[in-house]
Chains A and B, each alone.
Chain A
Amino acid sequence: MAPEDRQTLSWWAAFSACGLVLMLHFSLVQLYNMPLSPLQLRFINQLSSYVNPFFSQKWSFFAPTPIDRSYSLVARARYVDKHSDQPGTTDWFDVSDPLIDALRKNRLTPLFDMEIGVSNALISVVNALPSNPDDTYSKDGRTYIRPTIPAATSPLDMMVLRRTALAMLEVAYPGKRFQQIQLGVVVGVFPRFTERHDPGSRTQWSFFSVDWQPTEWVTPYCCQSLRARASAGTQQR
C-alpha cells in the first residue's frame, strides 16, 4: 500500500472512531438528562458513573414547575459579649434580603455569590422536607411543615446556611462570641396569576425555624458593602 493511501486510511479510521465516540458520549449524556424513563432506569448506575462528575449537567431551568413562592433566610444567635462576658440573644436577623437588595442595586455585586449560595441551599432544604417525617406532620389529610424542624435535615445545605448566616452575624454584631445559632425560613406565597389585580389579594407569609445549632468560627465575609447590608439586615428583621 502506498504511503498516501495508508495516510488516507488512517485518517478515515480516526474520523470514524472520533465520530462514534462523540455519538456515544452525547447519547449517554442525553439519556441521563432526560426525564425518568424505563430505559434510563435500566441503566441508571452505568449512566451515572459515566456522566458524573465531569459531564454532569442540569438543564431543567425552572421546569417543569417553576418556583412560585419566595423563601428568605433569617437567623438569630446566642452569644457572650467579649468585653462584659454577659450572655444574650440577638434579634432575628434577615440574611437573604440585604443580599438581594445589593443585587437589585448592582447586578455585578460580589455579594451575588453569597446570595445564590443561600438560595441554592435554601431550595434544597425546602425540597428535602416532604421526604423526611421528622420535618412534617399530617392533619385532615394534608401535610404541614413542623414549626421547628431538626437541624439534621439536609445536613450539607444546613451547614452552608448556618455558616453564611454566621459570617453575616459576625459583621452585624461585632464584639460578640456566638455560641449557638438558630435559622428560620420565611415563606411568602404571593398572589396567584388570576388574583394579581385583586386589591384584597396579598402575599401570605408563614415561618418555620430550625433547632438551635452549635456555632463554629467562620471567616467574616469581607468588605464595607456587606457591613452596610448587614446593618440593613438588623433593621429589616
Chain B
Amino acid sequence: MWHSLTRLREFASERHRLISLSLMRICFGTIVLTYYAQHVAQRAFLWGDNGMVPFSAFDLMMRSQHSLSLYMLSPSPFYEALIFYLGFIVTIAFTLGYRTRIFSILFYIFTWSLFERNGWLLDGGDNLLYLVAFFLMFTYCGEYFSLDAWMGHTSNHGKNKLLAMIHNYGVLAIITQLSLLYFTSAFYKIQGKMWQNGTAIYYILNVNEFRLSGFAHHFYDSGIVVTLLTWCTIVFQMAWPFLIWNRRLKPLVFLGALSLHSMIGYFMGLVWFSAVMLTSELIIFSDSEVRYGVHLFRRAVFRCRLLHLRGRGMTAAEADASAPCYAEHNKV
C-alpha cells in the first residue's frame, strides 16, 4: 500500500504530456490568430457597437447571464479596437510561448471576451477552445517549441512537485473535458430516431448551409454509406473515452478523429470547429508516444529516400552513403 502511494506520488510529481501541450498551445494560438487576422476588416460589424449586436444589447445579455467581457467596459470604437488589437498581440505572445504562464492567462481572458462579445458567431469549436484554454492556464504548455524554452526560462520548472501535480490535473481535466464532450454527444445521438435508423447524415448533408461539396452526393445517395457513416459517428464518439487509454489503439483513434473532423470541415464548412477538435486530440499522446511517432515518421522518410536512390540505379552501398545518416535522424 505504502509502496503504491509512493509510486503514485512520484508519477503525479513528474510533469506529463509536455510536448502535446506545447503543440496544442501553438495550434490553438494559430487558430485564434488566424481568426483575428481574418476579421480585421470586418471587426466593426462583427464586434462593434453599430454592428451585428449593438453594445446596449450585449451589455444587457452580459448582465443577465452574470458574465464578464473586456468589451463590456466601454462602447467606444477606440476602446473596442484597443481590446481587439491587444488580444491580437496577446495571442501572438501565447503562440510563440513568451512568458507562457502569464500569457496563457491573458490568452484565456481575451479569447473569452471576444467570443462573449458576439455569441451568434459561435460554432461549438469556440466553446471547446475556451474550456481547454481555461485548463491550459494550469499547465506547463510552453516547455517545447517556445521562446521561454529558447531563452532558458523553463530550466527550473520541473523541480516544484506541487506545481507539477497541478499541471497533471490540468492535463487530466482536458482529457476529461474531451471525454465528456464525445460521450454526451453520442448519448444525445443514440436517443434520436434518425441516428438510430442510420439516416441522420443524409439529412445533415442535404441542408442548404451544409450542402457545400459536389462530392457529398456520393455519400448521401448510397443507403449503405449513409448508414455506415451515421452509425460509425456514434460508435466513434461513444468509444473515444475508453479507447484513448490503450496505447496500441491511440493512433487509430487519432486517425478516426482526423477522418471525422476533416469531413466535417470540408463537407459542412465548419473548419474552425474541426481545427479546434483536432488540436484537442493531441492531448491523448504522451511525450514518449510523440517521440516514437516522430521516430517512425523519420524512419519512413529515410526508407522512402533510400528506395528512391536505389531506384535511380545506385547500389545499396552508394544509396546508403548518399541518404542522410539514419542515426542522425534517430535523435528525437
Chain A contact residues, CB within 8 Å of chain B: 8, 10-12, 14-15, 18-19, 22, 25-26, 29-30, 33-35, 49, 52-72, 96-97, 100, 103-104, 107-108, 110, 112-117, 119-121, 156-157, 159-160, 163-164, 167, 188, 190, 193, 196-197, 216-223
Contact = CB atoms under 8 A, between A and B. Distances in A.
A60 B185 contact: yes
Contact of A64 (B50, B134, B195): B195
A216 B54 CA distance: 10
B150 interface: no
Contacts of A117: 46, 52, 118, 120-121
**Closest A-B pairs by Cβ, 4 of them:** A64-B192, A70-B208, A63-B188, A53-B67
Q: What does DSSP make chain B's interface, helix, strand, loop or mixed?
A: helix
A110 B272 CA distance: 12
A65 B265 CA distance: 21
Contacts of B180: 26, 29-30, 33, 59
A66 B194 contact: yes
Interface string B123-141: 1100110010010000000
A100 B208 contact: yes
A39 to B, nearest CB: 15
B209 A107 contact: no
A26 B176 contact: yes
B200 interface: yes
B204 interface: yes
Contacts of A103: 209, 212, 269
Given A70-B208, A110-B39, A18 B165 contact: yes
A62 B234 CA distance: 12
21 contacts: A10-B162, A15-B12, A18-B165, A34-B187, A52-B65, A53-B65, A54-B134, A59-B124, A59-B184, A64-B188, A64-B195, A65-B193, A67-B204, A70-B207, A70-B209, A103-B212, A107-B266, A113-B42, A120-B120, A219-B48, A220-B45
B120 to A, nearest CB: 4
B269 A68 contact: no
Interface string B145-171: 000000000000000011001100100
Contacts of A11: 9, 13, 161-162, 165
Nearest to A19: B169
A96 B185 contact: no
Contact of A59 (B42, B162, B188): B188
Nearest to A159: B57
A222 B209 contact: no
Interface of B: 9, 12-13, 38-39, 41-42, 44-46, 48, 50-54, 57, 61, 65-67, 112, 116, 118, 120-124, 127-128, 131, 134, 161-162, 165-166, 169, 172-173, 176-177, 180-181, 184-185, 187-189, 191-195, 199-200, 202-204, 206-209, 212-213, 220-221, 223, 226, 265-266, 269, 271-272
Contact of A58 (B48, B127, B195): B127
B209 A110 contact: no
Given A15-B12, A22-B176, A120 B122 contact: yes
Contact of A22 (B48, B172, B265): B172
A35 B188 contact: yes
Given A66-B200, A69-B207, A221 B166 contact: no
B124 A58 contact: yes
A224 B262 CA distance: 29
B158 to A, nearest CB: 15
Contacts of A67: 203-204, 207
B140 to A, nearest CB: 16
A112 B34 CA distance: 13
Which of A53, A58, A66, A217 has most B Cβ within 10 Å? A66
Contact of A68 (B13, B203, B272): B203
B257 to A, nearest CB: 14
Contacts of B48: 219
